[in-house]
Amino acid sequence: MTLSATSLNLGTVTVGKTSQSKSVSLTNNQSVALSFTSIATTAGFAISTNGCGTSIAAGARCSVSVTFTPTATGAAEGTLTFNDSALNTPQTVSLTGTGH
């Protein structure tokens, strides 16, 4: 299982507003389908589109998009976490954004 990015910067966003979404692709480079037990973000960040669903076929690729909605001014950090049946689970993407 490989990710197209290990980090995403959602930019500077007005407190209470939501950023444009940014995507990360996940590729199943194994010979068997993998199932997801969860795909989640930490507070302040949210999944806007989950194109991965509950499983991914062998050799397939899917994408997940995230947004940032700051509740305070300043820098924020979070994580997008993929928990699945791959040996290298979980896969994580660092998320950053700034509220203003």
- Provide the residue ranges of all domains of the chain, joining segments of one domain with +: 2-99
Residue-level pLDDT, tens digit, the chain, 100 residues: 899 999 999 999 999 999 999 999 999 998 999 999 999 999 999 999 999 999 999 999 999 999 999 999 999 999 999 999 988 899 999 999 999 9
CATH 2.60.40.10 at 2-99, yes or no: yes
Residue 2's region, left for phi above 0, alpha for psi from -120 to 50, else beta, is beta
Which residues partner with 91 through β-bridges? 82
Say what the pLDDT of residue 76 is. 97
Say what the pLDDT of residue 87 is. 84
End-to-end CA gap in the chain: 36
